[in-house]
Every structure is written in structure tokens, then in C-alpha cells.
Amino acid sequence: MTSKDYQKILVGVDDSADALAAFRYAIHRAKADHAALIITSILESDDYSVYQALNKDYVHGERAELERHIQEYRHLAEKAGIQDVRAVIAEGDPGETIVKTLIPKYQPDLLIIGAEAKKGLKRHFGSQAAYMAKYAPISVLVVRE
């Protein structure tokens, strides 16, 4: 059995350990395949209180912080030797935004995401990773820390 070489890899990142593990694997896979790497993070505006949502300075500050954070990921990928790296910020529900907006727009052939291992009742509820694995029209690799 031979492994498939991917041309364009999309990886979702945030501050979690599982997302960092997904990012590390995405760098490894992009280097092995000489693939382009698209790093994305989603600004989840649904998590804002009414006050925060109406405060443009607050929302702008959150976006600026996310921009700084994703540029750090981009710098690490470039430092690791990835030639074609793009950093993308989008807003909304992470799973839906990645599946319905980013995949059609950037047309990657592999999505790499992290998934927190859940125990007890939490494992019975849906997660962003489960949504993306189910609905993404491309291969999805779920990395657990």
C-alpha cells in the first residue's frame, strides 16, 4: 500500500494541546509531500456576551490577538522549511466555517484537526472534529494529544 501525496493541506489551530499536535503533524505531512500549508483559526463570535459583541474595540482586539497568534504559527511553519504557507482567519462556528467556507475557497485535499479526548458524558455529545470528519468533502485527519 502506498501513501497519497497531498498538494494542499489545511490545518485548524487554536490554543489547545490537541491543535498544537495537529499543527506539528501538518508540518510533518507538508514537508513529506512538498505540499502547501494553509493554517486557519476561527474567531468564534458566538462566544461573546452582548456587551462584547457590541463593543467594536473588544472585537477588534480579539481579532488582532488572533492575527498575532496565527502569524506565530505561520512563522514556525516557514522556519520548519515549508515553502508555501498561508495564514487565514475566519469568523463563525469553527466546524461549519471550515467545511462550508474555507474548504470550498482554498480547495485543500487534506484537513488536519485536533480533537480533545473526552471522557464520560462529554464523549456522547458532538464535537467540532466530529462535524468536520462527517461533513468535509475531503480527507480529514483527526489528531489527539
Quick check: 144 and 115 in contact, CB under 8 A?
yes
Q: Is the pTM of this model over 0.75?
A: yes
3-state secondary structure 59-123: HHHHHHHHHHHHHHHHHHHHHCCCCCEEEEEEECCHHHHHHHHHHHHHCCCEEEEECCCCCHHHH
Domains and their CATH numbers in the chain: 1-10+22-88 (3.40.50.620), 114-145 (no CATH)
Tens place of pLDDT per residue across the chain (145 aa):
346 789 999 999 988 899 999 999 999 999 999 999 999 999 886 554 444 444 444 445 677 888 999 999 999 999 999 999 999 999 999 999 999 999 999 999 999 999 875 554 444 445 889 999 999 999 999 998 7
CA 144 to the chain's CA centroid: 14
The answer to whether the beta carbons of residues 70 and 13 sit under 8 Å apart is yes
